[in-house]
Structure 1
Amino acid sequence: MKIDANKTIAVAVDYQERLMPVMEGKEELLEHSEILLKGLRTLEIPIILTQQYTRGLGMTVKEITDAAGTEDYQEKISYSAYEELSPLIEGKTYVVVCGIESHICVLQTVIDLKENGYIPVLVTDCISSRKHRDKEMALERARIEGAVLTTYEALLFELLGKAGTPKAKAIQRLIR
C-alpha cells in the first residue's frame, strides 16, 4: 500500500515551549520535523498543530509554526488528539503523525486514529520522549496497533511519487 497524497493530512502533536527543552535528541527532532513539515507544505498536505494544556506547557515553538506555515492550533486536554482532529480529518485515509511525547500523546493519538478507521503514519525520526526507552516502547506499541512506521525522507518521496517536477526539486533541496 502506497500512501496517497490526495488522501493524506498531517498532525504535529504538542511541540510546545516547556516540553521541547527536555526531549531526548531535541536538536535532531527539531531539524527532522522542520524538514518534514516544510516538505508536507510543498506537497500541499494540510497540517494541523495541537497543543496540550497551553496555559501550562506554552505555545508551539517558532521553528515548528514557521515550518508548518501556521500558528493556528487545536487546544486539547485529552492526551489523544483524536477528538479535536476528528472533524478536521474527515474524508482522509492517511494521517501523518509527528510530535511529542512519543509514549503519551503521540501514541494515544495513533491508537485512536487506527480504532476509528484511519491509517496512522508515524514518522519515527520526528517523534521523541524525555527517555529513550519510552520512545522505543511507543514505536513497538504503535507497530502492534497497526500504524505505518516510516521516516521523514521515505514519506516525502513516497508522497511525491515521481522525480523531475518542481515539487521534486523543492523536496530534494530540503533533504540535502
Structure 2
Amino acid sequence: MRIDKKDSLALVIDFQEKLIPAIDKNEILLQNTEILMKGLDILEVPLIITQQYTKGLGMTVESLQNVFGNSFQYFDKTTFSCYDDEIILENIKNYGKKNIIICGIEAHICVQQTVIDCMAAGYQVIVVEDCISSRKENDKKLAMHRMTQEGAIAATYESILFELTRDSRSEKFKEISKLIK
C-alpha cells in the first residue's frame, strides 16, 4: 500500500539529552533523524514530538530542536507507549490521518509499544529503521523484527521521503534531494 503525505503524520519519540549518549550509533541516528524531520517539515507532514519524563531525562537534543527553531514544541509523557498518554492520543486522533510514521528511541521499549498500540487501533504504521535505535544493537534488531511481524511497514528515511514526494516534478523534490545528498 502506498504511503501518501496527505494521510500521514509522524511521531518523533524521546530523542533526549540524557538518553542519546547511551544509544548505539547515536551520531548516525541523529543525522538520519534530522534529515527525516527536515524532509517531513518540507512536505508539510505534521510531527508530534514526545519526551519521556523530561525532568529526569532532559530535553530533545538541540540538533533536532533546531529543525523547528522557535516553533519547537513537545509532549511530555510518563507512559512508554505514546498511545497510552491521553494528550498525545488526542493529538494523534485530531489529525485524522491513517498513516503514522515513527522514529525514536528506545526501539524495544517506547517505539515498539507505540507501534503495537497504534496498529491495534487501526493505523498503518511505518517504522523508519535508520531513525530508531536502542542502547544495545540486538534490542533494536529484535524490536524491528517484532514490529514487522506485527504488521508494521519498515522504511528508511530516504525511501519514505521520496515516497511521500512521489514525483521528480514536484515542487518539493529539489528540496528533498538536497537533504539526501
Secondary structure in structure 1 of the residue aligned to 2:154:
strand
Between the aligned residues of both structures, percent identity stands at: 47
Alignment of 1:23-172 (within 5 A): 23-68=23-68, 70-84=71-85, 85-90=88-93, 91-172=96-177
Question: After superposition, what is the alpha-carbon deviation per residue over 1:23-55, rounded to whole angstroms, capped at 9, x for unaligned?
Answer: 100010000000000000000000111000111
Question: What letter is aligned with 1:15?
Answer: F
Q: Which residue of 1 aligns with 2:9?
A: 9
* In structure 2, distance between residues paired with 1:66 and 1:143: 31
Aligned residues: 176
Question: After superposition, what is the alpha-carbon deviation per residue over 1:56-78, rounded to whole angstroms, capped at 9, x for unaligned?
Answer: 10000111112255431111101
Question: After superposition, what is the alpha-carbon deviation per residue over 1:86-133, rounded to whole angstroms, capped at 9, x for unaligned?
Answer: 211221100010010000000000000001111111000000100000
Secondary structure in structure 2 of the residue aligned to 1:154:
helix
Q: Which range moved further: 8-17 or 76-85?
A: 76-85
* In structure 2, distance between residues paired with 1:40 and 1:159: 9
Question: What letter is aligned with 2:11?
Answer: V
**TM-score relative to the length of structure 1:** 0.97
Q: Note if contact 1:37-1:68 (Cα within 8 Å) is conserved in structure 2.
A: no
Secondary structure in structure 2 of the residue aligned to 1:49:
strand
* In structure 1, distance between residues paired with 2:7 and 2:89: 15
Q: Note if contact 1:47-1:68 (Cα within 8 Å) is conserved in structure 2.
A: no
Unaligned runs of 5+ in 1: none
1:2–1:68 Cα change, 3 Å: farther
Q: Which residue of 2 aligns with 1:22?
A: 22
Indicate the RMSD between aligned Cα atoms, in angstroms: 1.0
Q: Which range moved further: 149-158 or 84-93?
A: 84-93
Question: What letter is aligned with 2:127?
Answer: L
Q: Note if contact 1:52-1:76 (Cα within 8 Å) is conserved in structure 2.
A: yes
* In structure 2, distance between residues paired with 1:160 and 1:68: 20
* In structure 2, distance between residues paired with 1:11 and 1:148: 15
Question: What letter is aligned with 1:136?
Answer: K
